[in-house]
């Protein structure tokens, strides 16, 4: 077997995990809110450089994190976001998901439709604004000496917390239950 041309994916019990999202995930202060800004940021991030690195198409995303207190730029597979929720990136699962704690279908303007591609997240800037509300609330409940620019549940090496893992498990179970309910 020739290992020189192996794809940088890990196979464990039939689940494929590509390293591209993990390697490209980066906290950012702001995400693009127009198509032109999105295109410019996508060119800068250059996700197309990973075209032949893993199975599937890894595209530019700028979305909220699982805890709705930060925004993350990442090269990830596009997902269809369902039920009018904001798209998020899980640092534990290294995937884009619907964030069931961030309902954007009720926003007064630019509300999310019942389904949309995750690469259209820029069309729903209210999702990004939710992170600012979380930060403001947290700042009001925290003394100034404890306030940092980095979300406190992540270490600088992007290690994820137990809480992030539990959120991913809950999200997976909720998705499964929603799919079961629709199938009935």
Half-sphere exposure of 52 (CA within 13 A, CB side): 2
Phi and psi torsions of 83, nearest 5°:
65, 20
Using CA atoms of 74, 80, 86, 91 in order, give the dihedral in degrees to the nearest 10. Answer: -40
pLDDT at residue 110 tops 80: yes
Phi and psi torsions of 167, nearest 5°:
-60, -40
Nearby residues of 13 by Cβ (< 8 Å), 6 or more positions away:
none
- 129-172 pLDDT, tens digit per residue, is 999 876 555 555 554 433 333 333 333 333 344 455 555 666 66
> What is the average per-residue pLDDT within 5-19?
50
Q: Which residue reads 């997976």 in tokens?
A: 172
Our separate counts of H helices and E strands in the chain read 4, 9
Output 132 or 4, whichever has higher pLDDT: 132
Output 85 or 1, whichever has higher pLDDT: 85
pLDDT for position 136: 56
- 29-44 pLDDT, tens digit per residue, is 999 999 999 999 999 9
pLDDT at residue 79 tops 90: yes
The closest alpha carbon to 148, from 75, 70, 94, belongs to: 70
* Residue 154 structure tokens: 């992540």
Task: Quickly state the pLDDT bin for 121 (edges 50, 70, 90).
Answer: very high
Confidence (pTM): 0.67
Chain centroid to CA 163: 16
pLDDT for position 108: 87
């Amino acid at each position: 077997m020739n290992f020189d041309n192996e794809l940088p994916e890990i196979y464990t019990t039939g689940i494929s995990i590509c390293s591209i999202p993990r390697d490209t995930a980066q906290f950012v202060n702001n995400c693009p809110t127009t198509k032109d800004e999105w295109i410019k940021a996508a060119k800068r991030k250059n996700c197309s450089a990973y075209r032949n690195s893993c199975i599937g198409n890894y595209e530019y995303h700028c979305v909220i994190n699982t805890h709705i207190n930060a925004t993350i730029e990442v090269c990830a597979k596009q997902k269809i976001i369902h039920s009018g929720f904001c798209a998020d990136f899980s640092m534990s699962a290294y995937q884009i998901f619907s964030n069931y704690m961030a309902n954007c279908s009720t926003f007064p303007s630019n509300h999310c439709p019942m389904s949309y591609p995750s690469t259209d997240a820029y069309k729903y800037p209210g999702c990004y604004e939710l992170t600012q509300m979380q930060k403001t609330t947290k700042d009001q409940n925290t003394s100034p000496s404890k306030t940092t620019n980095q979300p406190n549940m992540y270490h600088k090496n992007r290690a994820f917390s137990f809480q992030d893992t539990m959120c991913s498990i809950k999200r997976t179970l909720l998705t499964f239950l929603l799919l079961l309910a629709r199938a009935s």
